[in-house]
Amino acid sequence: MVIDALLDFVYSVLTTILSPILNLPDVALPADMTNAFINMRSFLDATDFVIPYATLTAIIASMIAIEAGIMAYKVIYWLIKRIPTQS
């Protein structure tokens, strides 16, 4: 439930940021790239019975959120170390 809310928030932020790009006219992809997407979809369909798409998406989103949290912690810690202290 929390992950769904987080994904909805990320989706809305990305939609807001990318809205000027999304309003551009459609671009046709090369045939090789289209075939690559079709092949990727067939590979995912073969593994869907083991790990459903929703579960896979939640796992990847969780991993990205954890890594972003670790990076934010390191940046904040680095900034705190750079601030001179008064003693």
10 part of a folded domain: yes
Residues 6 or more apart whose Cβ sits within 8 Å of residue 57: 7
29 part of a folded domain: yes
pLDDT band at 66 (very low <50, low <70, confident <90, very high): very high
87 part of a folded domain: no
Angle subtended at Cα 69 by Cα 76 and Cα 13, rounded to the nearest 5 degrees: 105
Assess contact for 63 and 3: CB atoms under 8 A.
no
State the distance between the two ends of the chain, measured CA to CA, in whole angstroms.
46
Its pTM surpasses 0.85: no
The range of the structural domain enclosing residue 12 comes to: 2-82
Number of domains present in the structure of the chain: 1
Give tens-digit pLDDT for 12-65. Answer: 999 899 888 878 787 777 888 888 888 888 888 887 788 888 888 899 999 999
47 part of a folded domain: yes
39 part of a folded domain: yes
23 part of a folded domain: yes
Assess contact for 61 and 7: CB atoms under 8 A.
yes
Residue type, 7: L
